[in-house]
Amino acid sequence: MDEKWQKMYEAAKKVQGFTAIGPHMEAGGVAAAVMTESGNIYTGVCVDTACGLGVCAERNALFNMITNSETRISRVLALMADGKNGAPCGACREFIVQLMEKDYRHIEVMLDYESGKVATMGELTPEWWL
């Protein structure tokens, strides 16, 4: 595994942890790390609500990145509650594509950290608004 993915995995693992915020809200079951083209890593956790107005960990990490004045990502890693990786959901893919509309296809997404399986956003979202 290359050092960049390892740092991202460790950053996501560090913020992951289930927290009951209230009777209708919980957070942290899923954690994500995004790496910018400049090499910075931003993290986020999912926030789940009973009404469905929560936010995924990937978008939370991207909001953190945008808050810190960066908009260009190169890698995405999501760590699910079971410790496995997963691809971004449709809403997260849409957000990523709109963020980097002209060149989203090269963004790398970790699918399986243990085996090192990586896909690109172009492979996961091949035809956006054509």
Q: What is the mean pLDDT of each run of 10 residues along the chain (130 residues)?
A: 94 96 96 98 97 95 98 97 94 95 95 97 85
Topology, domain 3-124: Cytidine Deaminase; domain 2 (3.40.140)
What pLDDT does residue 122 have? 95
- Whole-prediction pTM value? 0.95
Specify the pLDDT at position 52. Answer: 86
Q: In the prediction, which pLDDT does 130 show?
A: 57
Domain assignments of the chain as residue spans, ordered by start: 3-124
Q: Is 21 helix (H, G, I), strand (E, B) or coil?
A: strand
Per-residue model confidence (pLDDT) at position 128: 76
Q: What is the pLDDT of residue 88?
A: 96
User: In sequence order, what are the residues at sequence separation of 6 or more whose Cβ sits closer than 8 angstroms to the Cβ of residue 57?
Assistant: 12, 30, 31, 32, 44, 45, 46, 78, 79
